[in-house]
Chain A
Amino acid sequence: MIALMVPSSPTTLVHLSAVDIAIIVFYFALVLAIGLYLRRRANTGEDFFMAGREMTAWIAGLSFLSANLGSLELMGWAAAAYQYGILAAHWYWIGAIPAMLFLGIVMMPFYYISKTHSVPGYLKLRFGESSRALSAISFALMTVFMSGINMYSMALVMKVVLGWDIHFSIWVSSITVAVYVALGGLRSAIFNEVLQFFLIWAGALLIPILGLVEAGGWSNLRLQIAHNASAEYTHLWSTLGNFKDNPMGIHWTGIVFGLGAIISFGYWTTDFLVVQRVLSAKDLRAAKMAPIIGAAFKMLVPFIVILPGLLGLAVLSVKLTGETTAVATGGHSYNEVLPLMLARYCGPGLLGLGITALIAGFMSGMAGNVSAFTTVWTYDIYRALLKKNESDAHYVSMGRWSTVVGVIISIGTAYLVMDFKSIMDYVQALFSFFIAPLYGTVLLGMLWKRATAAGGFWGLLAGTLSSIGMWAWVKVDPSALRYVALSPNARDMAENMYRALWCWIVCVVVTVVVSYMTKPKSDAELSGLVYGVTAIPHEAPVPVYHRPAFWAVVVAVAFIIVNILLW
């Protein structure tokens, strides 16, 4: 164990000064202090798992976004921008904004009015115990995998940038997260996520600013990218007419219907990792505003993630490659573009803040996964299937212990994902296994009162199995790609988009067919759960600029404008 705690120092991108180390140490001390301070505020189940349901729209909204700003957002998408160009921004705009607005305006009232503790908890109310068990178990599996990916990504950054031993990074970060989440529960996770949100922006914002100064502005940047890579790298839509015309090997139908309509809606509206933050809001208006506030800031995230990747194409003298080639040649991989840009512009102090921003991103993502896992495990698996009638204190204690156990399992998965060739593609595959079918089930459950318990369960099961089946089919027979992704030229990203679309359709069709074959619940039983039989509380008479719908329209208009400008 002692050996694990001694950082090694092979080749590194940067060397930290004393002030950089002081900034990193201060960050760790502060998040632990917050966890310790909030320990006394996490005595009941409502406090520990739902943060007392007292968050303002701003806190819930920033936490909602920050929980998603994990390692994949910062390092993975900067790498994707270097590799695929500005197409990576689709995951921030069409792959997020419409879904976040839909969550706030349409779905949040049902989650909030039902007073559920979790998304599987909603399925229990709407479809019964079997649907809850299926979604809770699949979510718990997905969550610990995601958490492991977060840990691995952070350890990779620490190894590349600072030369720290990969095991040292994994253990230090995971123990810190385990301590502050186990002590303060969801409130501590949310508190730290908002803090991490500010640190991420403070540490990462300088890279695009200084990068644009060096490149000579956006127009010159586009010219340099066209020279160094291809002009296609700076177009958002115009190259999506054919699989062969863009670096990602994807067609616009995959982006619009696979990513925009299924994967993003599935993630942002049913992934409990993010929905849990909004459920902690103090009232319905705050719950509706939180995703809209999150969407407004999500629109800006490409500035600190995608733009550095594009700047890397223009200003870096070294050519980055895939992980395998980088290891074989001793060069730098795509995943190193953000640390390379950080080292390029940031001197003493700023470097420490930039590294802290990366660590904060990783830890907020990890804490989000761990706190969501803890809630689903305790309420939807342990209490529902194993110990039904224990005291509230017993479940809080279980929540604390499951936080620690969840972190330990995540550490195990971190070691597993080290062998995967591409972190991003792997995560997209996981999404399409579990999230896309879940979205079909929840959507029909909320909007169609004829959907029955049997329909919900069999639809969810069929969608999940069909997704895993398609993935396995292409793995066994790569030529099957032409059927799953509609083209033999499609790449991994495109395959994931289409697989999500097909399994969502399977889920919906099976749910509808089985529902028509089985007896529905009465309207009275569905009150508070389904559109049409639920009285949505009217908002108090407030000025138009205080209404969630107004701000949703503002964000939607900005979303349309930015897509047209970068067409």
Chain B
Amino acid sequence: MLILTCPCCGVTGEETEFHAGGEAHLKRFGPGSSEDQFEEYLFMRENPKGVHFERWRHVNGCGKWFHAARNTVTLEVYGTYAAQTHEPPADLRDKITEKVPGWTWREFQ
């Protein structure tokens, strides 16, 4: 059972305090978007063996959503960061590169 640190309230808690919310940094497509764009938005997901970016909510806590950068194999948590962003912060990406040189995830590396 994982432990995560909520960047919104600072609490480090066990997984039962949190709720996993799927892949991070999805771009919403609404009316006017093409079938392909909408399909991509609604259904297409990364399933990496290694570095992954996810959304989590501190549901039994401050109630806030946040992002987590995690390794799906080792379960190492590289860091958590605010939900109000479209991409992982640069310092976190650097930290991951130190540990997993050459990682890529969607358009990020």
Interaction A to B: no
